[in-house]
Amino acid sequence: MKTPKIWAFLPFALFIGLFAMFAFGMWGNRVSKDTSPLIGQPAPTLQIFTIDNQIMDLVKYRGKPIIVNFFASWCAPCRAEHPSLLQIGHDESVVLIGIAYRDNPTNNRNYIEQLGNPFAQIGLDLQGAAGASFGLSGVPETYIIDKDGIIIYKHKGEITAGDVPKLIRIAVRGS
């Protein structure tokens, strides 16, 4: 009887190794979805135009907490979160800024006309540079900037009605 060579077990060992990497990726240690290396850092300076052809300037809102929401007209979760953004937009204790990420300006205008405008300003991030400066991983994504211009919180994904009081509380209290 022949003894099996060590090479015969190589495919099985490779399969086990790949399975272990997959399992760790699915259930292993993960970074919190709300973390960002920019938390505690000054908010990036934006060099983008607004939907009404002005230069976006977050500095003009210094002294008041700012909630910056990246969205797009083509994004289904953005549509789903829009009623929550309307609720935030009515709260006078914060300034809600929208940034249309890689979106067609005409589509964006139609989206806002259809669903309502909760934003104090809407920036057009046509090439994705503003999103990159914030470390955006996808839309929707929301950042809270305190009254001194420091990023204090990141919310990845859709904002639900239940998230609204928490986000406003974080913005107003600054932590």
Output the pLDDT for position 32. Answer: 42
Question: Which position has the token pair 């503003």?
Answer: 130
Q: Give me the domain span that covers residue 69.
A: 58-173
This prediction's pTM: 0.80
- Bridge partners, residue 49, by sequence: 55
Output the pLDDT for position 51. Answer: 93
Output the pLDDT for position 24. Answer: 56
- At 80, which CATH number? 3.40.30.10
Reported as a single tens digit per residue, the pLDDT across 17-61 is: 666 666 555 454 433 445 678 899 999 988 899 999 999 988 889
Q: What is the CA radius of gyration of the chain?
A: 22
Number of domains in the chain: 1
Amino acid at 157: G
Question: In the chain, which stretches have pLDDT less than 50?
Answer: 26, 28-33
Asked if residue 3 is part of any domain, the answer here is: no
Task: Give the Cα separation of 9 and 21 in Å (integer).
Answer: 19
Output the pLDDT for position 34. Answer: 53
Output the pLDDT for position 21. Answer: 67
Asked if residue 1 is part of any domain, the answer here is: no
Asked if residue 35 is part of any domain, the answer here is: no
Asked if residue 53 is part of any domain, the answer here is: no
Output the pLDDT for position 37. Answer: 82
Asked if residue 141 is part of any domain, the answer here is: yes
Output the pLDDT for position 118. Answer: 98
Q: Is it true that the peptide bond before 37 is cis, omega within 30 degrees of 0?
A: no
Asked if residue 84 is part of any domain, the answer here is: yes
